[in-house]
Amino acid sequence: MAEEQTRENTDRRDRRQNPVPVQRHCPVEATADLIGGKYKSLILYKLTGETLRFSQLRKAVPCATPKVLTRQLRDLERDGLVRREVFPVVPPKVEYSLTDFGRSIRPVLEAMSAWGRGYLQERRRKEKNAEDETA
Amino acid sequence: MAEEQTRENTDRRDRRQNPVPVQRHCPVEATADLIGGKYKSLILYKLTGETLRFSQLRKAVPCATPKVLTRQLRDLERDGLVRREVFPVVPPKVEYSLTDFGRSIRPVLEAMSAWGRGYLQERRRKEKNAEDETA
DNA sequence: CCGTATCCGCCCGGATACTG
DNA sequence: CAGTATCCGGGCGGATACGG
């Protein structure tokens, strides 16, 4: 029955009676749906190449409160990108890692990272210019 | 004064008193901020290689209502990704195109598109399997 | 043709406090 | 340690109607 629930929720964003059935999911849109959450891409990026515990993820993504972080992780898990492994020990231990499918998204993250660097530079430059003109 | 306003709104998502000043913007996060809107990546993708008028964009992104579409376009314009050109003619004519900066994001969009195709396939496959097992 | 105005629901995300 | 519980505000996005 767990599988059925998974199937039902494949489309997380519950768009009921969508008036436009034609090509509801173009590839770009589908990707945006999965990693469009505020911290999702960042989480995936941090998880690249290493397994992290919840507390480590909190440090890696400090802006996200535990609730938000949990939510995003649950989404990612539900969507098959992240694996959550609970170790029945004390103190509790939960590890998050990428699934094969999650690893496959790496090119997107790399592209985002690379482009983001350029963007931040551009932004700094503009801010500097504005300051100079003000001064 | 227009420039100042632009500077003020460089960080669109108004996170006041952010408690974590350390590395507020990692590259991945910055990119997600810019193209994280529901249709932004799709708009940029459709705008790749061709200038489109508003009405054409509406057809290209049918799920977005005019208001939403306008909003996303304004964001993209403000962020320097899209150029909006108004022609003072009757009937009115407005063309949207990518700036150089907007064009530079293409690798990200391509990566998203490519990965999205795989994701949709994977999803279809799973749905098929589930149906087969049910039957 | 290209939007804006208005209203609204909803979910996302934030803050704080609390548990197994 | 790894989360939930609860409450909350805000903004994003949707629907419909209207304006330049």
Cβ atoms within 10 A of the Cβ of A14, count? 7
Test the A interface: residue of B9, B38, B119 with most A CBs within 10 Å? B119
Task: Report if residue B106 sits inside a domain.
Answer: yes
Instruction: Check whether B65 has a pLDDT greater than 70.
Output: yes
What integer pLDDT is reported at residue A57 of this predicted model? 93
What integer pLDDT is reported at residue A110 of this predicted model? 96
| Interface check A68 vs B, CB under 8 A | no
The residue assigned the tokens 């990200």 is B108
List the domain range (segments joined by +) for residue A31. Answer: 22-134
With cut-offs at 50, 70 and 90, classify the pLDDT of residue A135: low
Asked if residue B86 lies in contact with residue B97, where contact means CB atoms within 8 angstroms, the answer is no
Q: Do A41 and B29 touch (CB under 8 A)?
A: yes
What pTM was computed for the model?
0.82
The pLDDT tens digits of the residues spanning B70-96 come to 999 999 999 999 999 999 999 999 999
Separation CA B60–CA B70 (nearest Å): 14
Task: Report if residue A71 sits inside a domain.
Answer: yes
What is the domain-level CATH number for residue A77?
1.10.10.10
The pLDDT tens digits of the residues spanning A46-66 come to 999 999 999 999 999 988 889
Could you give the number of structural domains in chain B? 1
The pLDDT tens digits of the residues spanning A86-120 come to 999 989 999 999 999 999 999 999 999 999 998 88
The residue assigned the tokens 């949990």 is A70
Q: Is the CB of A68 under 7 A from strand D?
A: no
Task: Report if residue B2 sits inside a domain.
Answer: no
Q: Is the CB of A93 under 7 A from strand D?
A: yes
Q: What percent of chain A has pLDDT over 70?
A: 81
Q: Do A25 and B117 touch (CB under 8 A)?
A: no
